[in-house]
A and B are shown apart, each in its own frame.
Chain A
């Protein structure tokens, strides 16, 4: 190798245990009777189910659509009937169920119509959306939707593209086997990545303990129309970490809190490149991957497994042995213990490591930290693990963040070398998830504060509006009352003038009542006879005369009756 390599700080030399599983040829795992496909297999929003219970689905049919930008679709790994959409056991350390689609396979393995993509003719954004809909996500472990990573963003290009074939964790050999058997396809995927990212330098980093893989990749790289440099990197854990691989190959460090793209480098796992090639050149979505089944089994080996296959099926295929003490998903350094072996293989499942007490004796009891700083010596992220441990243990999360807790890649080197056998990484994971939870709580509190303040504002506004409405009404009533008063003043006899003139004070209610009273009085006054008051003496005399005449007529009217009475 002519390329000058760099060394990252720390790291540990581990016994590889690769030979157990990479000696046997690659096999396709048989089609299981039941596939359980979780909708949350990637980082970001879980996919939204787009099929219904009882529906027949074909192999490669989208059953969960990507929800948002940072998301990826999920697909039926084989043809069959959807029997359930609901919570089911998933490969997560907590053992909590999550939304899954269960498919009863029909054994016909019937593909949905699919065709290769002419990626060079497609617009970059359309191609990325297509890849998102084909469920392509990083198969190195983080399962980040690849479509997002394939967007060079504002920079318009990413000069360096690194294909990570490090596979530094002991026991795991799925990337090794993929490179040995499918080097050509991996590089086809790399061509698509190069097309999307506009990269000019393409490096494939492979640990030097995989000479067959290096040879296969170099041979495949010869036939390409662009330059791909296959570089053997020293085997030291965690050389396969993205940031460590970048440093080894380029000597550049990704600054804290930044992305590798900020320094013009993008890293993809070899498995992702292969999945991308399948999607583009065959139109096949991500429905299978290579899985190493190793550890305490009879025939450790690699399988090509359909997503959704129960892990136990694979362990049985590899030859289950007695006295196993559970299984890890992933390797011994970063793998997660599985709560149950019936959980399905997902996009993130690179290895199923069956444990036994002989292979993985239980951790000795812990001793207090003696501050020997061996953890700091091996930390590849150049952190102070002993300080982080202290802060995480005492719940001083603010200080932990000041000490760059979030730069920890959870590689497990510190726990591995700790002479006191303290599970340091568990403390960092605890601290990280506490910080995230607090962050979430803080956001919820901010939302509640905002909503409460808006409610207070709304209530005050409603009160003010009501008062204004009332005042306007009172004003109208006052003007009306004023008019009435004026009208009454024109009339000769305006009764109750003291009431009509009373409402000149500001009190709206009083004014209203007064106005109402005034109106009532006015009505009453209209009904009452008014033409007999304040008359001229002449008229008065006339009226009196009329009254006298009336009385006389009344008198006369009574008289004939009297005469009649007298007649007889």
Chain B
């Protein structure tokens, strides 16, 4: 009887120690679910979801504070992926947060730019180069097309230009095949 109790106590202590040690040793920093959600989000950092960037939105989804259908740049496909990850039913995009648009980059009309730096401060990914009273320009390769620079411009010199299809970006289209009527 005593041996049995002793064995159980020793076992409990050992297991407890191992668990306690592994909790310290293998501590996961941050929320792994939020990381996974963040990996699906398009990283446009546009804030259309109502959060200041993709990461805060991902954290809100992980906490259950935000819905999965608030990201227009992610589109239907992003919602589908989020639904798959979270094990929920996909739902249509919430129109209140905007509609998906073709991928664009911002373009600054350098004739009109007065060099006020307001767009530089608005850009979430530092994709605008320029300085006070110097002409600004967009680094097209870094621009996510979030449109956050458009509103602050006092002279309306920023336009969103849809990305034109060229050879390196060309994609094979979904084959349209004519089906034979059988009935």
A residues near B (Cβ < 8 Å) are: 40, 90, 92, 94, 96, 98, 364-368, 422-423, 426-427, 429-430, 432-434, 437, 441, 444-449, 451-456, 458
Contacts and interface: CB of A to CB of B under 8 A. Distances in A.
B163 to A, nearest CB: 11
B38 A449 contact: yes
Contacts, number: 82
Interface in B124-173: 124-127, 142, 144, 165-167, 169-173
Nearest to B146: A448
B150 to A, nearest CB: 18
B43 A366 contact: no
A13 to B, nearest CB: 26
Nearest to B174: A430
6 contacts: A365-B177, A368-B179, A427-B175, A444-B144, A449-B54, A451-B125
Contact of B179 (A94, A98, A367, A448): A367
A445 B142 contact: no
A29 B20 CA distance: 81
B170 A94 contact: yes
Contacts of A458: 126
Contact of B167 (A92, A446, A451): A92
A455 B125 contact: yes
B42 interface: yes
A365 B174 contact: no
Nearest to B142: A451
A393 to B, nearest CB: 9
A401 to B, nearest CB: 15
A456 B54 CA distance: 12
A455 B38 contact: no
A364 B144 contact: no
A448 B144 contact: yes
Nearest to A98: B167
Interface in B97-149: 124-127, 142, 144
A113 B170 CA distance: 39
A433 B125 contact: no
Interface in B41-79: 41-45, 53-55
Given A90-B167, A94-B167, A96-B166, A448 B142 contact: yes
Contacts of A429: 172
B25 interface: no
A451 B126 contact: yes
Contacts of B44: 448
B23 interface: no
A366 B167 contact: no
> Looking at chain B's contact residues, is the secondary structure mostly helix, strand, loop, or mixed?
loop
A434 B167 contact: no
Nearest to A425: B175
Nearest to A366: B177
Contacts of B170: 92, 94, 96, 433
A452 B124 contact: yes
B146 to A, nearest CB: 9
Interface of B: 38, 41-45, 53-55, 124-127, 142, 144, 165-167, 169-175, 177-180, 182
A434 to B, nearest CB: 7
Contacts of B124: 452, 455
Q: Which are the 7 A-B pairs with shortest beta-carbon distances?
A: A365-B180, A426-B175, A445-B43, A448-B43, A451-B125, A429-B172, A433-B171
Nearest to B177: A366
Contacts of A366: 177-180
A266 B55 CA distance: 47
A451 B175 contact: no
A452 B125 contact: yes
A426 B38 CA distance: 33
Nearest to A430: B172
Contacts of B171: 430, 433-434, 437
Given A433-B172, A434-B171, A451-B127, 14 more contacts: A40-B167, A92-B170, A367-B179, A423-B177, A430-B171, A433-B170, A444-B43, A446-B43, A448-B125, A449-B43, A452-B45, A452-B53, A454-B126, A455-B126
A356 B127 CA distance: 52
Nearest to A368: B179
A367 B182 contact: yes
A72 B172 CA distance: 25
A445 B43 CA distance: 5
B167 A430 contact: no
B45 A365 contact: no
B28 to A, nearest CB: 19
A447 B45 CA distance: 12
Contacts of B165: 94, 96
Nearest to B170: A94
Nearest to A449: B43
B43 A365 contact: no
B167 to A, nearest CB: 5
Nearest to A445: B43
A40 B126 CA distance: 32
A94 B173 CA distance: 10
A482 B173 CA distance: 77
Contacts of B169: 437
A365 B126 contact: no
A446 B171 CA distance: 21
A47 to B, nearest CB: 14
A205 to B, nearest CB: 31
Contacts of A454: 126
A433 B170 CA distance: 8
B172 A447 contact: no
B42 to A, nearest CB: 6
A365 B176 CA distance: 11
A427 B124 CA distance: 38
Nearest to A441: B42
Contacts of A90: 167
Nearest to A438: B77
B54 A430 contact: no
A453 B165 CA distance: 30
Contacts of B173: 430
A448 B45 CA distance: 8
A322 B178 CA distance: 27
A434 B175 CA distance: 13
Residue of B38, B142, B167, B171 most packed against chain A (CB within 10 A): B167
A422 B177 contact: yes
Nearest to B139: A451
A445 B54 CA distance: 11
Contacts of B144: 444, 448
Contacts of A434: 171-172
B152 to A, nearest CB: 16
B180 A367 contact: yes
A94 B182 CA distance: 33
A97 to B, nearest CB: 8
A456 B166 CA distance: 34
A429 B173 CA distance: 9
